[in-house]
Amino acid sequence: MRSVSGLHSPGDMMKSPLMAPRRPDDPESTERNAPSVEAAFQAAPEEMVAEILDGELHLSPRPARPHAKATSLLGTLLTMPFWLGRGGPGGWIILDEPELHLGPRPDKLVPDIAGWRRERLPDAVGGEDAPAHYDLAPDWACEVLSERTRRRDKGPKMRIYAREGVRHLWHVDPLARTLDIFRLQGSDWLLVHSFSGEERVRAEPFEAIELELALLWSE
């Protein structure tokens, strides 16, 4: 395990402006998104990905092809063994681009992929009146990095995931062909592993199977 700016090994848990610690629980907090921000979020064009992070609206175009391909392939590789239990232990719900509403504002995030342990989310669909979004923080999230989203994925989204107690986070960079594995330790993200190229890896929390990275970058 090694340390990078704001992301720490067990012996080096210093704070940094980039990787702010989780804020303590504040049951009295009534801070909400501005009505104009919520209205703009609701009016966002369907071809854009809309998110509200720390009260600010962010609009992103749909992912470019390398991003979309890596997301689709990774979701496929994980869904069979961990959701369907085919060739793996099962026990997870894994969804592509779920809309998450987290915290009192709420922050509204769309990870590329997210996973919940089945005991925490036994029914991914819910009843007829279930909203389209999820307000239960996932156990694992994955962001596929691009030049347009890198600062957001590594800044406010990481802070929000930490605040909400998401235990595991992956960053996939399809152009650099890297996979970074983070674990939440206390209030900081710990960089557990950094994989690259065509390695065959076991990456938490899905270390029950070997993941062949070359499949994510294949043409």
Residue-by-residue DSSP string for 170-196: EEEETTTTEEEEEEEETTEEEEEEEEE
Residues 146-167: what's their mean pLDDT?
96
Question: Per-residue pLDDT averaged across 136-153, rounded?
Answer: 96
Instruction: Indicate whether 14 pLDDT > 50.
Output: no
Asked if the model's pLDDT at residue 214 lies above 50, the reply is yes
Per residue in 26-54, pLDDT (tens digit) is: 444 578 999 999 999 999 999 999 999 99
Task: Give the range among 19-23, 148-152, 156-160 with minimum mean pLDDT.
Answer: 19-23
Residues 6+ positions from 207 with CB-CB distance below 8 Å? none
- What six digits make up the tokens of 104? 């009192």
Closest by CA position to 162, among listed 3, 4, 6: 6
Residue 12 CA to residue 15 CA, distance in Å, equals 9
Average model confidence (pLDDT) across the chain: 88
- pLDDT value, residue 1: 46
Print burial letters for 77-111: b (CB count within 10 Å at least 16), e (below 16).
bbbbbbbeeeebeeebbbbbebbbbbbebebbbbb
Is residue 188 pLDDT above 90, yes or no? Answer: yes
pLDDT for the residue numbered 29: 59
Which residues are within 8 A (CB) of 139 and not within 5 positions of it... i.e. 6 or more apart? 115, 116, 117, 120, 166, 167, 168, 205
